[in-house]
Amino acid sequence: MPSLIIFLALFCHSSLAATLQDSIPPTKKIFVLEVYGKSPGSGYLQGMTDTSLYMTVLQHPFGHPTFDKTFHYQSIDYIKMRPNGNVGKGALGGVFAGAALGGIIGAATYKECNCIIDFGVGLNIAAGALLGVLPGLGIGIIIGSHKKKFIINGSQQNFDNMRTAFYKSLDKQN
């Protein structure tokens, strides 16, 4: 029963998040940024020049209008960045890895019983898989939500280094 409640809560949360993100064109939702400095903000990266970041800022999580904002490198202390969708991918991978590991442990710990009813190794595998899902989900979410931090401190050189690292990560993804 608790697993069903958790599943429904995650399903409702993901449906709400998908609905809120529909107001931004899909091509604009590649990277999620958090900018800290003189005027902080968070949202989806739209573009980058030699001196500025352009992003769609999410004002409020319950559907209030979004707006575009420009961050000049001199007003940025640091940036946290992650590809959009990494949390979901991490959660999904964690669920499968946890279920597989739990199933293997369940099969390894099975001891044959001389009882009237012996459900066999299959029940141990299923129980282990079910018990491995939640820890796997938690670990997958933690791994998927990792953000890369770039310290800018208003420096053009640090901003250029961040841009170079960003474009290298784009090349690795394609």
Chain centroid to CA 17: 12
**pLDDT score for 47:** 82
Give the contacts of 47 (CB within 8 A, at least 6 positions apart): 53, 54
**pLDDT score for 13:** 45
**pLDDT score for 60:** 59
Structure tokens at 120: 């066999």
**pLDDT score for 21:** 40
**pLDDT score for 61:** 61
Give, for all 174 residues of the chain, the pLDDT tens digit: 445 445 444 444 444 344 334 333 434 457 777 888 887 877 888 888 888 888 887 655 666 656 688 888 888 888 888 877 788 888 999 999 999 999 999 889 888 877 777 777 888 888 889 999 999 999 999 988 888 888 888 888 988 888 888 888 776 665
- Torsion, Cα of 89, 91, 93, 95 (10° steps): -150
**pLDDT score for 24:** 38
**pLDDT score for 104:** 92
Chain centroid to CA 157: 29
Q: Which of 120, 119, 124 is nearest to 107 (CA)?
A: 124
Per DSSP, the residues of 57-95 read E---TTSPPPEEEEEEGGGEEEEEEEETTHHHHHHHHHH
**pLDDT score for 137:** 93
Per DSSP, the residues of 135-164 read HHHHHHHHHHT--EEEE-TT-HHHHHHHHH
Q: CB of 96 within 8 A of CB of 136?
A: yes
Q: Show me where the domains of the chain are located.
A: 2-86+146-166, 87-142
State which fold the 2-86+146-166 domain adopts.
SH3 type barrels. (2.30.30)
3-state helix, strand, coil in the chain (%, to 5): 50, 20, 25
